Structure 1
Amino acid sequence: MPASPSDYYAALCARDRRFDGRFYVGVSTTRIYCRPVCAVRTPRFENCSFYPSAAAAEAHGFRPCLRCRPELAPGVAPIDAAGRYAAAAARLIDQGFLSGQSCEGLAQRLGISARHLRRVFADRYGVSPVGYAQSQRLLLAKRLLAETALPVTEIALAAGFGSLRRFNGLVRERYRLSPSELRRTAPAARAPHGGHGLHLRLAYRPPLDWAAMLSWLARRAIGGIEAVHGDQYVRSISLMHGGKRLDGWVGVRADASRHALSVEPSASLVPALPLVLARMRRLFDLDASPGDIAAVLGDLAAPRTGLRLPGAVSGFEGAARAVLEQQVSTSAAACLLKRLAERFGEPVPTPWPSVDRLFPAAAALACACDEDIAAIGIPRQRARALRLLAIEAAEGRLDLDDVIDVERGLARLQEIPGIGPWTAGYIAMRAWSWPDVFLCTDYVVRKRLPGMSPGAIDEHARRWSPWRSYAVFHLWASDAPPAP
């Protein structure tokens, strides 16, 4: 990050994409704030002030630029402990946590004091959790007004506002425009609501190797749950929102010209759009900073700087996949997961014949017996590990979605019989999107680093911290060992 206002201004003048989403600039003459990549004429230095988040800029009285659209800026993946707490709080807020609970309840959910939460959150985002929540709701509503033809009432509810009157009042107060005026200033290319008509953009920092991502997902696609059709990834998805379960589907394509993904959710998921978008960001690792990662990995990452860390749409799905991928080939694991979905997953309608089921819920597997699970073609011991994992998740004793203390989480996973260091580490990499896990006992990793013991490999990999998870993926994708 820049160290001084003059450094921020230099990044602004260069329109450096490495800083997109890392800071925002408020212009005193217009009272508008922008992303550092905004194409408008660069303001004078003395008219600029810099903020760590869009919410902080709005808290200082600035309204979002209608040209660069701050709500489309990519996110930032934290690697330090305080950043993880702040980011986890932000994720829960984005999912609507503060709509029904207090800041104290959010702190309790994270296992820290409310005072500590406010401190780390202000350090990261420059605003209180409540202020951040209000800004995020408004920015989502602004995006929906610009990119969809959804009715204003439906947009207000999807963004988390309790009433249309409150929504209209806040939009006028913050943006000095009514919702209908905001919609008129947006591009006219909006498809009708429903079916294939709802498309939203998720930005990323280039490069992103979309072909490599699709290839990875296609080889591991669970029949009936997900598929790759040409340049599009499609899948079913089930979410809990406001105490209700919402089932539907999502299709995702790359929009390379805009450095974004185009996300098409089913109409049934509109009430939970913030959660849908958050899951897609995690699945495709859109908050990654390829330049930062490549700078640490060096020659290992040089041939494939756009390689990302594929995540999971839910912690339980990611964990269950890891258990069934133990000691089998990629194709065999995909076959086992398809059988699991056919036996325990519920049907769901989608536009694609190849996607017609939901991934089995933890509660469904928790209620099954070991013999029923083993019938998909796995050893009884592995079936028991999967059932015990499901029981811990279904009964709320094991958090698989918002893990902050990774070391504790890894230890907790390994208390379940049948889950060892490799499986726990793989869950942390994909289900928790943790960037600094290294699988020193992995077969392919050992093959890429020949003549070294697991301990020596682990020591060797320390040079790649805090991006060792990415190092594993690069080693898996590598044709030859990296230079020592």
Structure 2
Amino acid sequence: MNAPSIPAPDLHLSDYYRALAAKDARFDGVFFAGITTTGIYCRSICRVKTPRASSCVFFHSQAAAEAAGFRPCLRCRPELAPYDLQQNLAHAIWQKIAAGAMNEQGLESLAQTVGLSSRQLRRVVLQEFGVSPIELAQTQRLLFAKKLLQETNLSMTELAFAAGFGSVRRFNALFEARYKMTPASIRRSHSQPESGIYLRLAYRPPYAWDALLNYLCGRAMAGLEYVDSEEASYRRTIQLDGKNGWISIHHIADKQQLGLQIAPSLSSVLMPLLAKIRQQFDVEANPVLIASHLQHDPILAQQMQRTPGLRVPGSFAPFELAIRAILGQQVSVAGATTVAGRLVRSFGEPMQTPWPQLSHHFPTPVRLATLSIEDIAAIGIPKSRAATIQSFAAFSAGGGLDINPGISMEQLIQRLVALPGIGDWTAHYIAMRALRFPNAFPAGDLGLQKAVTPPDQTRCSAKALELRSQTWSPWRSYAALLLWESLA
């Protein structure tokens, strides 16, 4: 846990080459190496013989490597690399593009979504990645299509549309022009059963899968999600862009990947679906970078030794997590989980899945907003909390959770606490888990206060904990998870 932090933009060329020669997984997705003698670009972990330093050119993104004329390696598969998440506007835009934001809407619509003019958006992306937004989107589509070619048996038509292409002809033409090969030439045959589509997501090790699974298990909403302890997998129902289905996720430790089983009915929304799974399971975290900062606190350092690679569990849908947080106000985790399951079964849409534990979708914001306070309270909660759920559902139905990438965490917290029944704890919990702000920290949480208080001393106050947490910035959310885990 004493490894130094890895700020990629500050690395020298010799640092890149040493990481490439060492096959260092900590740099996976942080940079890509273009090999001038072959015209191919690779991940830092590629197992082929390391080329000479004079033959290597380094890039911060796949798009930049492809814009320079390099093709993706068929062995290390750059499309599998975890993203190099950075907290800036350019990477927030890139995340939207990687999730398929430009598949259905054009550049103007994307610019409007992120609160920029199309000219400003082009400038931001070009400065950060060295390519235009359209080139960035094309690279993501091609790499996603390549992933589907090598991991699934989807037909070419299904595959092309799932990757965001308007036609198979357009997909074939661009693939051949960019990669100098046909899609069929890299197709792999898979003996997958008809029970689902199987895909993989890579992460940077270590990954505390068991700890994350235990955290989700204690908060799983009956009917909507389920943790299978025997198979160490997480399952849930899915409702996305008008499509209904389910997913099952397990850990492939020896390959440093998550394995996904996805309902065939979700084939047309695979791109945004995988983006949501990445967020829920915090796949893009750089645990070495985070640990190098937090290890200076003795309590956090001790817990990191017990659970190296601890992630901040996200949520598949921010609205679900926000309602779950409201239900958790001033009650135990077990009590909140129980009433959350009642809410799902009472007001969610029923559906069939391969598992009896999964039977409903989460109720939509419109559904909860139109219910009476009495109806919501009937699940076993006070009317005041039912009123908060009703008003928050109306807020969400009106686009309140559609967060502009440029918004600061402080602005978001102010927006949330202005809502009736939403206090500082709830706002920070939503920011941390639902909206993925890595520096959110609910200092008013009694468990966090207890975790930092030495035995036989008066419990640390929220004000004192908030002050102490400033030294953990910008990774306070990870510090919170470590402290909660220490109580277990």
TM-score of the superposed pair, with normalisation by structure 2: 0.93
1:355 alignment counterpart: 358
Q: What letter matches 2:27 in structure 1? A: F
Between stretches 119-128 and 139-148, larger displacement belongs to: 119-128
Which SS does the other structure have where 1:473 is aligned? helix
Q: 73, 84, 91: which one pairs with 1:87?
A: 91
Post-superposition offset of 1:379: 1.0
Residue type matched to 1:315 in 2? P
Match for residue 149 of structure 1 among 153, 170, 181 = 153
CA drift at 1:472: 0.7
Letter in 1 for 2:270: L
Aligned residue number for residue 288 of structure 1:
285
For 1:356 and 1:239, the matched residues in 2 are separated by 16
| Pairwise CA distance, 1:226 | 0.6
Name 1:63's counterpart in structure 2: 71
Whether 2:139 is the aligned partner of 1:140: answer no
Matches within 5 A, 1:99-138: 99-138=103-142
Instruction: Identify the residue that residue 219 of structure 1 maps to in structure 2.
Output: 218
2:373 alignment partner in structure 1: 370
Per the alignment, residue 431 of structure 2 pairs with 428
Contact kept? 2:114, 2:404, Cα under 8 Å: no
Work out the CA distance in 1 between the residues paired with 2:76 and 2:346.
47
Amino acid in the other structure paired with 2:244: D
Worse-matched range after superposition: 3-12 or 134-143: 3-12
CA distance in 2, matches of 1:255, 1:404: 36
Determine if the alignment matches structure 1 residue 160 to structure 2 residue 164.
Answer: yes
- Read off the aligned partner of 1:433 and give its amino acid letter: R
Aligned AA for 2:413? Answer: L
Kept in 2: contact 1:53–1:126 (CA 8 A)? no
Q: Spell out structure 1 runs of 4+ moving beyond 6 A.
A: none
Deviations 1:142-199 (A, max 9, x none): 111101111111100111110111111011111111111121xx4x44415x423x11
Equivalent in the alignment of 2:50: 42
The answer to whether the Cα contact below 8 Å between 2:282 and 2:311 also exists between their aligned partners in 1 is: yes
* In 1, Cα distance between equivalents of 2:225 and 2:438: 25
- CA deviation vs aligned residue, 1:89-110 (integer Å, no higher than 9, x gap): 2232233322233323212211
| Structure 2 residue identity aligned to 1:209 | A
Structure 1, residues 283-339: CA drift from partner, whole Å, max 9, x if none?
111100110111111141333222110000011111111111111111101111011
1:262 matches 2:220: no
Moved more, 446-455 or 28-37: 446-455
Look up the match of 2:236: 235
Question: Deviation of residue 401 (structure 1)?
Answer: 9.1
3-state SS of paired residue (2:258):
strand
Paired residue type of 2:252: D
Cα contact 1:401–1:431 (8 A) shared by 2: no
**Helix, strand or coil at the partner of 2:428:** helix
| Letter of the 2:55 counterpart | N
Pairwise mapping of residues 372-411 of structure 1 onto structure 2 (< 5 A)?
Answer: 372-399=375-402, 404-411=407-414
Bigger mean CA deviation after superposition, 163-172 or 389-398: 389-398
Indicate yes or no: 2:323 matched with 1:320: yes
One of 173, 176, 194 as aligned partner of 1:172: 176
Q: CA deviation at 1:457?
A: 1.2
Letter in 2 for 1:139: L
- Code of the residue aligned with 2:217 in structure 1: it is A
Question: How many Å separate the matches in 2 of 1:216 and 1:402?
Answer: 28
Structure 1 position 56, deviation (Å): 0.9
How many residues are paired up? 467
Please tell me whether the aligned partners of residues 385 and 418 of structure 1 are also in contact (alpha carbons under 8 angstroms).
yes
SS in 1 for 2:353: coil
Inter-partner Cα distance in structure 2 for 1:180 and 1:434: 41
> Could you say which residue in structure 1 is the equivalent of 2:30?
22
Distance 2:173 2:124 in 1: 30
Distance 1:74 1:10, change over 3 A: same
What runs of 5+ residues in structure 2 fail to find an aligned partner? 1-7
Cα deviation per residue 1:415-457 (whole Å; 9 max; x = unaligned)?
1110010000000010011110121111111112234322221
- Pair 1:195–1:166, CA change in 2 (3 A): same
CA change 1:405–1:447 in 2 (3 A) is same
Matches within 5 A, 1:435-474: 435-450=438-453, 451=458, 452-474=460-482
The farther-off stretch of 110-119 and 428-437 is 110-119
Distance in 1 between residues matched to 2:167 and 2:222, nearest whole Å: 41
**Distance change >3 Å, CA 213–CA 403, structure 1 → 2:** farther
* Equivalent position amino acid for 2:227 in 1: V
Alpha-carbon separation, structure 2, partners of 1:316 and 1:122:
33
8 A contact 1:294–1:302 mirrored in 2 = no
Contact 1:347–1:358, Cα closer than 8 Å, also in 2: yes
CA deviation profile, 1:13-72 (whole Å, cap 9, x unmatched):
111111100110111111100001100011111111111111111111111000000000
Contact 2:145 2:160 in 1 (8 A): yes
Q: Partners in 1 of 2:195 and 2:395 — Cα distance?
A: 37
Please tell me the residue identity of whatever aligns with 2:157: T
Tell whether the 8 Å contact from 1:11 to 1:36 is kept in structure 2 after alignment. yes
- Between 1:225-234 and 1:448-457, the stretch displaced more is 448-457
Q: 2:198: which partner in 1?
A: 199
CA separation of 1:400 and 1:355: change in aligned 2, threshold 3 A: farther
Deviation for aligned residue 1:400: 5.7
Alpha-carbon distance in structure 1 between the residues aligned to 2:384 and 2:269: 37
Point out where structure 1 has 5 or more consecutive residues left out of the alignment. Answer: none
Structure 1 length-normalised TM: 0.93
Q: CA separation in 2, counterparts of 1:363 and 1:402?
A: 24
User: What secondary structure is seen at the aligned counterpart in 1 of 2:102?
Assistant: helix
